[in-house]
Structure 1
Amino acid sequence: MATCEVCGNEYDAAFTVITADGSSFVFDSIECAAHRIAPTCAHCGCRILGHGVQQGATVFCCASCAHAAGVTTAQDRV
């Protein structure tokens, strides 16, 4: 059995996620995976589980947060 890197649960159905940079993580749930590897909004701090909005290297959960942070050209993807 593998052990989740976030909660420490030993689980027979744990899974491994390999990120684009080659990092490898073991999780027992999508919730733990999101907690560990999902980016956070630069304005409100929520986890970004969808596409988000990016301005340069800065990521926001939505255009509203980007606008609140001063990014006037941000648009939500449609």
Structure 2
Amino acid sequence: MAKCDVCGNDYDKAFTIRQGDRGGTFDSFECAIHALAPRCAHCGCAVIGHGAEHDGRVFCCAHCARSSGVKGLEDRM
């Protein structure tokens, strides 16, 4: 069995994810998201969808991007 890097659970169905030079062993997608998902530059939530990116900053939505001074991003038209 392998131990989850986030919660420490020793689980027989644990898995490993590699993302560039980052990665880890996890017992659930929830723990993998907690460890690897980018965080919104405005509100800090985990960006688990497509999000929006501007000048190297990641945002969870166009609202957060606009609130941080980014112009021209829309969630939908």
TM-score using structure 1 length: 0.91
Deviates more, 1:66-75 or 1:6-15: 66-75
Q: 1:33 to 1:77 in 2, by over 3 A?
A: farther
Match of 1:61 in 2: 60
Write the distance in 2 (CA, Å) between the matches of 1:24 and 1:34. 11
Runs of 4 or more consecutive aligned structure 1 residues displaced over 3 Å after TM superposition: none
Counting only pairs closer than 5 Å after superposition, residues 1-78 of structure 1 correspond to structure 2 as: 1-19=1-19, 21-76=20-75
**8 Å Cα contact 2:7-2:31 kept in structure 1:** yes
Tell me the secondary structure at the aligned position of residue 71 of structure 2: coil
Deviates more, 1:52-61 or 1:21-30: 21-30
Give unmatched runs, 5+ long, in structure 1: none
Give the aligned length.
77
Write the distance in 1 (CA, Å) between the matches of 2:48 and 2:3. 23
Identity across aligned pairs (percent)? 53
Tell me the secondary structure at the aligned position of residue 7 of structure 2: coil
